Structure 1
Amino acid sequence: MLSTPVRPAQRLQGVASSPVRDLLALIDRPEVISFAGGLPAPELFDLDGLRAAFDRVLSGPHARRHLQYAPTEGNPDLRALVAARMSARGLPTEARDLLVTTGSQQALTLIAAALLDPGAVVAVEQPTYLAALQCFQLAGARIVPVPSDDDGVDPAALAKVLAAERPQLLYLVPTFANPTGRTLTTDRRAAVAALAAEHGTWVVEDDPYGELRYRGAAVPALAAEPAAADRVLHLGSFSKVAAPGLRLGWVRTPASLRNALTVAKQAADLHTSTIDQAAAAAYLADTDLDAHIRRLRDAYRERRDAMIAAMPATAPDGSTWTDPDGGMFTWLRLPAGSNATGLLPAALDADVAFVPGAAFYAATPDPATLRLSFTTHTPTEITEGMRRLASVIRG
């Protein structure tokens, strides 16, 4: 008897597979130098500190409590500690403002569930984080791109999109953006906040990289702009400063959305892992996280510098690239007429990997672009990887 073929739900038909995830499955070979995944360096994980934190919460009189169901909103101690860190960075936050999520990616899913009906319009900077595009596609939204340049999303272009399309939501990674590494300037943050307030548009400020700054002064969070204080949902994560395997993130939400997001979280998974939240709270309470982040910055700065130093000998004449002040990525645009996707098989044959830029576009991709991540390899390995890449893209 022939089995009936599986037909996925309609909402999945417009959602493309992540090329980053597909690449990671192809390049699991030690000889490959991969600039593809936006992965933290595993040798820099604070293994001893995290192990000790788990040991503490699984010992003593409250150990069994940490294996039990927990409140949907999250561990109270963890929320208080995260709120204190956010306040110290210039974004006044109280524990009640935060909902703990299973990675900040889940926060995006919850926001989509709470705010987006099928057919709703979402505006995104172009190019933008591809998993956000997947999330909004899964929600059945219509995604409208907003042009950007070296200073981030263009406020004049955004004003036109807000007036013409009336999006329910604007999604941005304003600090060390994925995939470009760009940072939205202070003046433009004020302009974006004013536009959001004028048009009544919700703004998602995705901020997984903000503490990984290697040069220059910190820029205030978009959520700290008074004009949009009640319109911005600020997303944070432990993935880039502690360990992505914890799958711990949070959303700082205006009071008006707090209940809706909590209900969406209840429907999704009841609550994020109790034991992981408890261990993260213990880790934050007993560890100098700022010192750990300084070590990350020192290591990643050297790796970024190695990649940028190698770029003139790697990229063909007529190429351009970003020189990010922080984060994990540089964005390379090859000369007009180039096709990064077409170059990828030859790169894999040369034991080097990158992500073609086309996947990061909501519309009309630029085929000459590619994303390179510099965090996972040592400066020596990066130099060798760039030499391999040059042999491919220089023809």
Structure 2
Amino acid sequence: MNAEVLPWAARTKGLVGSIIDSSTSLLQRQTHDIVSFAMGSPAAEAVPSEDFSEIYSSVLANNGAGVFAYGATEGETALRDELLAYLETTPERTSAERLLITSGGMQGLDLAGKLFVDPGDLVIVEAPTYTNGSATLLAYGADIVEAPIDDDGLIVETLPELVQKAGRRPKAIYVIPNFQNPTGTAMSLKRRLLLLALAREWRSIIIDDDPYGMLRFDGRHIPGFRELGGGDPLVFSVRTFSKILAPGLRVGWVDADPAIVEKLIDAKQTMDTCTNVPNQLLSAEFLRRGGLEPHLDRLRREYQKRMRAMQTSLENHFSGVATWTHPQGGFFLWLTFGDNVDTSKLFDVAVQNGVAFIPGRAFSVTGQFGNALRLCFASQTPERTELGISRLAEALKAL
């Protein structure tokens, strides 16, 4: 049957695949050595796999076949209790009625779209921004307006003019405030406070996507929207263990107003009933044993070292040719060339040359940033980083 005659739902026109996720399949098909700066994934050696193996055995021994039963939609009690206890030691302390365990951070974003975005609703996003985040909003029919960023994050001062031009208030504002994906920049406190004020004026939901906030390795803590908002129902906070433990766990959480959480439970029950129970129990036991904070300390030290190694390599190979951001945490930095370089074309040459990245256009719904690219410094050792950056320089010369 010709696919054109299938009875597609209207929303399929808004479905956009992920260039980032697709790159994983592309790279797996390659047979030569590739230094990959593409995926935003923790280093393989940074995952506490030996601890996980021992904890899984313990969880199975203590819970038996119950490990593989359905779980409560809001999350396993063991994980909720341990997560609440850990958050009590951080600026993001919260309460049980505000908490929903999700299948990774992506489900949190999907739930935000499901609850707050109708077809045609205006949604403001950063430009550039996380591909899968904007794609999720598009899937719910959002009319996306891109707002610029600089070294202090989203330029919130531009939003009133964008809203005036659009002729309507935004239903939601999607931001990654800490060590933004893809640029690595962090929004200043002044701009966070201004964004809160504008959201209250417009009655707009702030979709606060913060996978990297616990990975600050330099500079001072900047209070987040959860902290600044004081429980404001307009702040919808999405968090995940993917960047701080392992992405394959697919365990995250949403912190939101209790009235929102009630609706989230209803919505999640039509999606997957419950988050993976064995992985919730694994995460709970890891927290119970006090493993998270020492693990985070190790990650911060290691990722700082890797970021500095990438900065050094870029100075050696791209000084005077490109500019780049200087993150104080997280996974990424953003490399920008002159207008004469098309990084989508560079990508093909680079993969042949043994190095991979994500081209800049992937991070804009309007195809901006054709002369830029994202590099993940977290996933490679300093030695592999130097090899990869040197290969990137050779690819640029070949292009």
Q: Which category describes the TM-score, using the shorter chain as reference length?
A: over 0.9
The code of the aligned residue for 1:59 comes to A
Alignment of structure 1 residues 39-50 onto 2, 5 Å: 39-50=41-52
Q: Give percent identity, aligned residues only.
A: 33
Q: Which residue of 2 aligns with 1:355?
A: 358
**Alignment partner of 1:148: what SS?**
strand
| Structure 1 residue 150 corresponds to structure 2 residue 155 | no
TM-fit CA distance, 1:279: 1.7
Deviations 1:105-153, CA, capped at 9 Å, x for gaps: 0111111111111111211011100001111111111111111111011
Q: Quick one: which amino acid aligns to residue 37 of structure 1?
A: M
Query: Residues of 2 paired with 1:9 and 1:355: CA distance?
Result: 30
1:59-94 CA distance string (max 9 Å, x none): 13x333322212110112211222232332212301
Residue aligning to 2:100: 99
Q: Which amino acid aligns with 2:370?
A: P
Q: CA deviation at 1:209?
A: 0.8
Match of 1:192 among 190, 195, 219: 195
**Cα distance in structure 1, aligned partners of 2:161 and 2:184:** 25
Q: Residue in 2 aligned with 1:159?
A: 160
| Cα RMSD (Å) | 1.7
Could you tell me how far apart the structure 1 residues matched to 2:152 and 2:275 are?
Answer: 36
Letter in 2 for 1:106: Q
Q: Secondary structure at the match of 2:14?
A: coil
What is residue 309 of structure 1 aligned with on the other side?
Answer: 312
Identify the residue that residue 240 of structure 1 maps to in structure 2. 243
What displacement does 1:30 show?
5.8
Q: Is the 8 A contact 2:208 2:225 kept in 1?
A: yes
CA distance in 2, matches of 1:111, 1:386: 37
Superposed, which structure 2 residues align to 1:83-162 within 5 Å?
83-162=84-163
Structure 1 CA distance for aligned equivalents of residues 390 and 159 of structure 2: 39
In the aligned structure 2, how far is the partner of 1:365 from the partner of 1:234? Answer: 27
Secondary structure of the 1:165 match is: coil
Structure 2 counterpart of 1:285, from 268, 272, 288? 288
CA contact (8 A) 1:316 1:394 kept: no
Q: Which moved more, 1:142-151 or 1:27-36?
A: 27-36
Shift of 1:291: 0.6
Mapped to 1, the partners of 2:230 and 2:298 lie a distance apart of 35
1:162, CA displacement in angstroms?
4.0
Give 1:316 deviation, angstroms.
6.0
Counterparts of 2:231 and 2:288, CA distance in 1: 31
User: Is the aligned partner of 1:34 residue 2:32?
Assistant: no
Say if 1:314 and 1:394, in contact at 8 Å, map to a contact too. Answer: no
The residue aligned with 1:22 is 22
Amino acid at match of 2:19: P
Tell me if the contact between 1:315 and 1:334 (Cα under 8 Å) persists in the aligned partners. no
- The CA deviation string for residues 161-215 of structure 1, in whole angstroms up to 9 with x for no partner, is 3454311111000000000000001111111111111111100111111111121
Correspondent of 1:215 among 210, 213, 218? 218
TM-score (norm 2): 0.94
Alpha-carbon distance in structure 2 between the residues aligned to 1:33 and 1:382: 7
User: In the alignment, does 2:72 pair up with 1:71?
Assistant: yes
- TM-score w.r.t. the length of structure 1 is 0.95
In structure 1, the residue matched to 2:255 is 252
Number of the residue aligned with 1:173: 176
Task: Kindly indicate whether residue 13 of structure 2 is the aligned counterpart of residue 10 of structure 1.
Answer: no
Structure 1 pair 394–83 and aligned structure 2 pair: CA distance change class (3 A) = farther
Partner Cα distance (1:315, 1:143) in 2: 34
Q: Is the 8 A contact 2:183 2:332 kept in 1?
A: yes
Q: Which residue of 1 aligns with 2:347?
A: 344
Alignment of 1:310-325 (within 5 A): 310-315=313-318, 317=320, 319-325=322-328
Q: Deviations over 1:260-308 (max 9, x none)?
A: 1111101111111122112211111014211111111122111111111
- Quick check: 356-365 or 180-189, which moved more? 356-365
One-letter code aligned to 1:342: K
Please list every run of 5 or more consecutive structure 2 residues that lacks an aligned counterpart in the other structure: none
SS at match of 1:333: strand
Quick one: distance in 1 between partners of 2:252 and 2:112? Answer: 13
**Aligned equivalents of 2:92 and 2:58: distance in 1?**
30
Number of aligned residues: 392
Q: Deviations over 1:10-34 (max 9, x none)?
A: 3223333211222222222461001
In structure 2, the CA distance between the partners of 1:13 and 1:139, relative to structure 1 (3 Å rule), is same
Q: Matched residue of 1:383: which SS? A: helix
How far does residue 227 in structure 1 lie from its aligned partner after superposition? 7.1
> Aligned with 1:337: secondary structure?
coil
Q: Distance in 2 between matches of 1:229 and 1:116?
A: 19
Which deviates further from its counterpart, 344-353 or 83-92? 83-92
Alpha-carbon distance between aligned partners in 2 of 1:228 and 1:361, rounded to the nearest angstrom = 31
Pair 318,108 (structure 1): closer, same or farther in 2 beyond 3 Å: same
Give the counterpart letter for 2:124 in structure 1: A
With over 3 angstroms needed to count, the CA separation of the structure-2 counterparts of 1:144 and 1:42, relative to structure 1, is same
| Residue 59 of structure 1 pairs with residue 71 of structure 2 | no
Partners in 2 of 1:320 and 1:186 — Cα distance? 25
8 Å CA contact 1:194, 1:227 repeated in 2: no
Deviation at 1:237, TM superposition (A): 0.7
**How far apart, CA to CA, are the structure 2 residues paired with 1:158 and 1:360?**
19
Could you say what secondary structure the match of 2:361 adopts? helix
Where does structure 1 lack aligned partners over 5 or more consecutive residues?
A: none
